[in-house]
Structure 1
Amino acid sequence: MLKEARTLLLLGMDGIGDVIMTTACLKPIRSAFPEVKIVYAVKNTAAAILDHNPCLDEVIPFDKPFFSGNEIYGKIN
């Protein structure tokens, strides 16, 4: 199923420490799915941690609760 996906969205809903812990998963995900666009949506406070990460294609920072509106939804292609 994931082999057919074009984009994988990761959500960093928690704090900076939790986002740091998830970075260990990025390289195996990239290796397993080299053709998939990997997008990580995180709170503004954690976005700098992911900038320039070679395993990610895009980082989408947000400052509101994720499900409070269309802020993120409108940015996802």
Structure 2
Amino acid sequence: LTNTIFLEPLALKMGYWGLRGGSEMRHMFIMQAHSMKYKYLTSFALRDVIKARIDKEQAEFVTLFDPERWDYYRIII
């Protein structure tokens, strides 16, 4: 698909959680994808994180991938 870009999930070390580094990198990635004319961003995330994004962004579940709550989602850029 030429209108969809995939964001590889990031793993931050424990000491860096809560410092917004992962959020900043994700935001910069979305801005770059938007400038390259992509319409959708897809990635994997924990189910609770996706539910929180649905409230803030135009996000949707693509598939409930893993019984351990690791799922595939898509947002409209």
> Is the shorter-chain TM-score for this pair beyond 0.5, marking a shared fold?
no
Say which structure is richer in helix: 1
User: How would you bin the TM-score normalised by the shorter chain?
Assistant: 0.3 to 0.5
Say which structure is richer in strand: 2
TM-score by length of 1: 0.43
TM-score by length of 2: 0.43
